[in-house]
């Protein structure tokens, strides 16, 4: 990928801080040439000021290079530029003391399937979209133009794998969803990792580890909630041990849950535990079979009513910080 000169950043006006984590700060911005919203990212200034941001810079560059090669994936947001390193005091209004790069990409429209962890601490229902549109979609919602959001993630995992990398940590917080258009946008590639053979210090890490995480994040053995508050539930699944052991734990949950699609889930988890998936296409076929079976029965009248009541929660002020117009997005659904 060709790095852009720092001056090219002038095209993008800087807005408010959208969020920050341990590695990055993310700002809203506007492409002044066409008036479209963008996001502007930089290494966290605390890391830059201590001159310990080089790993972040390397990961950012690797992601940019890979995104440049797989931009044909329609669900992945467009990356406008990654600049050469500079101090950017003229742009951000501060000077952490060392040079760093800045990236600009399209801003996703819609809402994240899962919001930020800091918002969960503040009591916001960050998992409401995941429950509504992936884990427990209503029968009425699925009746027209519905595709499970996980398949957009799977397409990116496949393209990244074709390039020799594993897209790790590509969770629902990286997936933005627009209910009205059923549009899915993935805003990141997660953590890019090379496959690893087993050694005396580390277990094997391959495609099956990534597929297990995706299955875990986008499926559930829990029945659809019968009251609206159930759709705000945040799941916390903590597993340890080998991939085989973790797969066995989840398989046991399916064996005991007596839910639709359990037999297909058990087949899939057994193959993951044995590291039998050598290509994403093999997993996709089994996963499609599982979802088709798991969602066949749909909801009864009580759970459908609870789903529609829970949908009203997307009109709360919390979701307004995203490019999400609840009135238009939910029209015809509530």
Classify the phi-psi angles of 283: left when phi > 0, otherwise alpha if psi is within -120 to 50, otherwise beta.
Answer: alpha
The predicted model gives 130-150 an average pLDDT of 90
What local confidence, expressed as pLDDT, does residue 301 receive? 85
Burial of 200 from C-beta contacts in 10 A (0-12 / 13-18 / 19+): exposed
Q: How confident is the model at residue 42 (pLDDT cuts 50, 70, 90)?
A: very high
Among 69-73, 139-143, 149-153, 296-300, name the most confident range.
149-153
Does 144 have pLDDT greater than 90?
no
> Is there a contact between 49 and 31 (Cβ–Cβ < 8 Å)?
no
pLDDT at 297 over 70: no
Cβ 174 vs Cβ 160: under 8 Å: no
pLDDT reported for residue 199: 86
Q: What is the pLDDT of residue 228?
A: 94
Looking at the chain, the domain(s) classified CATH 1.10.510 span 111-317
Choices 3.40.250.10, 3.90.1310.10, 3.30.200.20, 1.10.3720.10: CATH for 6-106:
3.30.200.20
Domain boundaries for CATH 3.30.200.20 within the chain: 6-106
Query: What gap in Å lies between CA 52 and CA 45, rounded to an integer?
Result: 10
As a three-state string, the secondary structure of the chain is CCCECHHHHHHEEEEEEEEECCCEEEEEEEECCCCCEEEEEEECHHHHHCCCCHHHHHHHHHHHHHHHHCCCCCCECCEEEEECCECCHHHHCCCCCCCECEEEEECCECEECCCCHHHHHCCCCCCHHHHHHHHCCCHHHHCCCCCCCHHHHHHHHHHHHHCCCEEECCCHHHEEEECCCCEEEECCCCEEECCECCCCCCCCECHHHHHHHHHHHHCCCCCCCCCHHHHHCCCCCCCCCCHHHHHHHHHHHHHHHCCCCHHHHHHHHHHHHCCCCCCHHHHHHHHHHHHHHHCCCCCCHHHHHHHHHHHHHHHCHHHHHCECCHHHHCCCCC
The pLDDT score that the predictor gives to residue 259 is 82
| pLDDT band at residue 121 using 50, 70 and 90 as cut-offs | confident
At 270-283, the pLDDT tens digits run 999 999 999 999 99
Query: How many angstroms separate the CA atoms of 114 and 131, rounded?
Result: 9
Q: Is the pLDDT of residue 226 over 70?
A: yes
Average pLDDT on 90-97 reads 96
Q: Which fold has domain 111-317?
A: Transferase(Phosphotransferase); domain 1 (1.10.510)
- pLDDT average, residue stretch 184-204: 90
Record the pTM.
0.91
Is pLDDT of 183 > 80? yes
pLDDT for 50-90, tens place per residue? 999 999 999 999 999 999 888 878 899 999 999 999 999 99
Residues with Cβ within 8 Å of 50's Cβ and at least 6 positions away in sequence, in order, are none
Q: What is the pLDDT averaged over residues 203-220?
A: 96
pLDDT of residue 202: 85
Give yes or no for residue 195 having a pLDDT over 70: yes
Q: What is the mean pLDDT of residues 307-324?
A: 92
Average predicted confidence (pLDDT) for the chain: 92
Looking at the DSSP bridge assignments, the partners of residue 183 are 178
Give percent of the chain above pLDDT 90.
Answer: 74
**Of 36, 109, 75, whose CA–CA distance to 185 is shortest?**
75
pLDDT reading at 112 higher than 90: yes
Residue 14: band (very low, low, confident or very high) from pLDDT cuts 50, 70, 90: very high
Report, as an integer, the average pLDDT of 164-177.
Answer: 93
| CA dist., res. 100 & res. 319, Å (int) | 32
Is pLDDT above 70 for 41? yes
Q: Mean pLDDT across the stretch 180-189?
A: 91
């Amino acid at each position: 990928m060709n790095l852009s000169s720092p001056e090219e950043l002038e095209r993008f006006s800087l807005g408010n801080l959208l969020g920050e984590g341990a590695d990055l700060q993310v700002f809203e911005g506007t492409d002044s040439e066409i008036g479209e919203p963008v996001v502007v990212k930089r290494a966290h200034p605390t890391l830059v000021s201590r001159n310990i941001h080089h790993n972040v810079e390397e990961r950012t560059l690797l992601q940019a290079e890979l995104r440049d090669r797989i931009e044909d994936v329609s669900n992945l947001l467009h990356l406008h530029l990654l600049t050469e390193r500079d101090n950017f005091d003229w742009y951000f209004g501060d000077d952490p003391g060392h040079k760093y790069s800045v990236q600009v990409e399209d801003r996703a429209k819609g809402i994240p399937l899962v919001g930020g962890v800091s918002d969960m601490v503040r009591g916001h229902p960050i998992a409401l979209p995941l429950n509504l549109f992936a884990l427990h979609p209503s029968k009425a919602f699925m009746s027209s133009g519905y595709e499970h959001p996980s398949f957009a993630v799977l397409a990116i995992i496949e393209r990244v794998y074709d390039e020799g990398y594993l897209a790790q940590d590509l969770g629902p917080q990286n997936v933005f969803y627009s209910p009205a258009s059923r549009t899915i946008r993935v805003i990141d590639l997660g953590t890019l990792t090379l496959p690893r053979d087993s050694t005396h210090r580390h277990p094997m890490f391959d495609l099956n580890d990534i597929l297990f995480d995706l299955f875990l994040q986008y499926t559930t053995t829990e029945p659809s909630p019968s009251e609206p508050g159930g759709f705000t539930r945040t799941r916390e699944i903590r597993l340890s041990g080998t991939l085989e052991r973790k797969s066995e734990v989840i398989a046991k949950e399916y064996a005991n849950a007596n839910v639709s699609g359990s037999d297909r889930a058990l087949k899939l988890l057994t193959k993951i535990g044995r590291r039998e998936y050598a290509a994403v296409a093999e997993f996709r076929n089994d996963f499609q079979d599982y979802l088709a079976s798991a969602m066949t029965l749909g909801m009864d009248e009580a759970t459908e009513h609870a789903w529609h009541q829970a949908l009203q929660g997307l009109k709360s002020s919390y979701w307004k910080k995203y490019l999400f117009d609840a009135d238009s997005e939910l029209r015809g659904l509530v």
